[in-house]
């Protein structure tokens, strides 16, 4: 649906400053109907990246293709036409204070020259969809933050777009409202098959509704893939720093201190077992102790849910000889569980 190829964006120097490279070597492919999250800290370039998709930000080099249309090659008039099929919502909602809820949602249709009667029949169901039918004649100043963002969403959907760009849409909202808005977005994604690209600095947003995620740092995408995979196996330290607070992959510090990297006489290996998907529910621990005669001392464990699928980690000390441990590792791997040896601890501590 959206393909960004070799995208670069450099802002020219201002005054005596140096040019700022906001985006470097960006290659992203976003599939139809996906909710694609882009996460990064402020200044990582995610906002600039999002704005290149509808060309609010013109890339210095590289190409942007949305639904088969090469955006960078369009004339000004063609670009305006193409933007009708790309909705956008904003952190600060950007509603017109001078217009009622109804008239705000009607704006994109007015801009496209849709006749008044048609506008009415198009706007009412949208207000229904976002649950604001009773507020149609209110002004934005009379609404709460969550309600304003609902208006923003209805407005973005008015021109029946194929893509919805979300610029930190929940960052100005409280946690409860954030959840409601995210559920609304997920619902719209399912019902309308809308492709959603969202940027955020909150990993919770990614965890809650995204199918795929790209992690940005210093204008580059440092890691991308399905959300489940990134959460289960974050490769880059930055990604880990995002994921760790919500998915506790770590272990108690007291244990960490005693770990030594190499096996020594009188030490037991410490394993981290990662349970993903339906495997998270199969009783492998009891199978290991029963069938392999290897006792496992559980140090630390956590079960979480990502995208509705369970995800768990378990840190265990294996109380047995090397051969038994090796066969236990084999057994776990054959059950498609992740296993890694974290280190070794002295036995009988």
Partner 1 sequence: MSPQIIDLLIKGLIDTLHMVAVSGAIGTLIGLPLGVLLAVTGRGELLQNLTFNRIIGAVVNMTRSTPFIILVVAIIPFTRLVAGTSIGTSAAIVPLTVAAAPFIARVVENAIREVDRGLIEAAQAMGATPFQIVRKVLLPEAMPAIAMGLTLSAVSLIGYSAMVGAVGGGGLGDLGIRYGYQRFLPEVMLAVVVVLIVLVQLVQSTGDWIARRVNKRNLKV
Among 63, 69, 90, 263, binds partner 1 (CB under 8 A): 90
Residue 248's closest CA among 209, 274, 226? Answer: 274
Among 81, 241, 281, 282, binds partner 1 (CB under 8 A): 81
d(CA 335, CA 71): 46
Strands 61-66, 86-90: pairing is unpaired
Asked if residue 42 binds partner 1 (CB under 8 A), the reply is: no
* Contact (CB, 8 A) for 42 and 159: no
Shortest distance (Å) from residue 124 CB to partner 1: 19
Strand segments, DSSP code E, in the chain are 2-11, 20-30, 35-39, 61-66, 69-70, 86-90, 163-167, 195-200, 212-217, 220-226, 267-276, 295-306, 309-319, 338-346
Q: Considering only residues 151-210, where is the footprint of partner 1 by CB under 8 A?
A: 159, 165
Stretch that binds partner 1, among 137-145, 181-189, 314-322, 330-338 (CB under 8 A): 137-145
CA atoms lying within 13 Å on the CB side of residue 317: 19
Shortest distance (Å) from residue 209 CB to partner 1: 21
Q: Considering only residues 288-307, where is the footprint of partner 1 by CB under 8 A?
A: none
Q: Give how many residues touch partner 1 by CB under 8 A.
A: 31
Asked if residue 98 binds partner 1 (CB under 8 A), the reply is: yes
Shortest distance (Å) from residue 112 CB to partner 1: 7
d(CA 116, CA 126): 16
Among 7, 88, 153, 306, binds partner 1 (CB under 8 A): 88
Structure tokens given for 215: 């992690």
Asked if residue 121 binds partner 1 (CB under 8 A), the reply is: no
Among 20, 69, 107, 319, binds partner 1 (CB under 8 A): 107
Distances 111 to 105, 114, 327 between C-alpha atoms, Å = 11, 8, 68
Nearer to partner 1, 54 or 267 (CB): 54
Q: What is the DSSP letter of 212?
A: E
Residue ranges in contact with partner 1 by CB under 8 A? 54, 56, 79-84, 86-88, 90, 92, 94, 96-99, 107-108, 110-112, 139-144, 159, 165
């Amino acid at each position: 649906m959206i393909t960004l190829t070799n995208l670069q964006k450099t802002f020219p120097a201002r005054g005596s400053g140096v040019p700022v490279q906001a985006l470097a070597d960006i290659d992203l492919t976003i599939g139809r109907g996906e909710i694609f999250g882009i996460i990064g800290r402020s200044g990582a370039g995610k906002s600039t990246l999002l704005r290149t998709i509808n060309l609010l930000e013109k890339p210095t080099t590289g190409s942007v293709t949305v639904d088969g249309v090469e955006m960078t090659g369009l004339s000004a008039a063609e670009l305006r036409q193409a933007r009708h099929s790309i909705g956008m919502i904003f952190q600060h909602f950007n509603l017109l204070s001078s217009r009622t809820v109804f008239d705000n949602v009607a704006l994109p249709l007015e801009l496209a020259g849709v006749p008044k009667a048609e506008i009415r029949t198009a706007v009412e169901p949208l207000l229904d969809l976002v649950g604001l039918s009773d507020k149609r004649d209110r002004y934005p100043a009379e609404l709460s933050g969550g309600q304003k963002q609902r208006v923003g969403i209805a407005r973005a959907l008015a021109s029946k777009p194929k893509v919805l760009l979300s610029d930190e849409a929940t960052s100005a909202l409280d946690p409860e409202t954030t959840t409601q808005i995210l559920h609304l977005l997920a619902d719209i994604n399912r019902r309308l098959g809308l492709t959603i690209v969202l940027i955020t600095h909150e990993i919770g947003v990614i965890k809650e509704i995204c199918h795929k995620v790209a992690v940005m740092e210093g204008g580059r995408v440092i890691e991308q893939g399905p959300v489940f995979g990134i959460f289960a196996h974050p490769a880059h330290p930055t990604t880990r720093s995002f994921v760790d607070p919500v998915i506790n992959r770590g272990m108690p510090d007291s244990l960490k201190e005693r770990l030594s990297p190499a096996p020594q006489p009188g030490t037991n290996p410490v394993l981290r077992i990662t349970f993903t998907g339906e495997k998270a529910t199969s009783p492998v621990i009891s199978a290991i102790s029963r069938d392999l005669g290897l006792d496992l001392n559980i140090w630390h464990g956590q079960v979480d849910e990502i995208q509705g699928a369970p995800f768990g980690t378990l840190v265990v000390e294996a109380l047995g000889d090397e051969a038994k441990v090796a066969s236990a590792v084999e057994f776990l791997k054959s059950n498609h569980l992740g296993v890694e040896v974290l280190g070794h601890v002295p036995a009988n501590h």
